[in-house]
Every structure is written in structure tokens, then in C-alpha cells.
Amino acid sequence: MSNNNRILNPKAKNAMDHLKYEVAHDLGLDDDIQERGWENMTTREVGKIGGNMVKRMVSMAEEQMANQQNAQK
């Protein structure tokens, strides 16, 4: 079985880890991660972090695309 959760650009690993912890902090889950560790987080908690990461990445991509569009004008 292949792992679809791998980072496609290895240079982005640190940024992705930072984003993961930033989102967890914003959701109030950072203390839980410190106490229990990632492996003991519930599927719901980890899914909430992942879903919010995707929302932020989409927002960042949209902003970057808008800035590129504005720079071409």
C-alpha cells in the first residue's frame, strides 16, 4: 500500500511541521500533543488539524495566485 501522506517537496517539510503545530495551537490541541504525543491523538483531533491545514494552504495558494495576477497587470 502506498503512502499518500508523503510530502511531495522535501524542502517544505519544516514549513509543513511548523504549520501543523501552529494549527494545533490555534485549535487548543498543542497541550494534548505535548502530554499524549501524536500517536495517542484521536482520529477526530488529527483530522481537525489536517483539515484546517488544508484550508490554510488553499488560502495561501489563492493569495499567491492573486498576487501573481496583480503583478502581471
Tell me: the pLDDT tens digits for 44-70?
Answer: 999 999 999 999 999 999 999 999 988
* Alpha-carbon span 72 to 67, nearest angstrom: 9
AA identity, residue 42: T
More confident residue, 11 or 5: 11
CA distances from 38 to 7, 35, 58, 73 (A): 18, 9, 24, 45
Match 524542502 to its residue by C-alpha cell: 11
- The model's pLDDT over 6-33, given as tens digits with 9 standing for 90+, comes to 888 999 999 999 999 999 999 999 999 9
> pLDDT higher for 14 or 1?
14
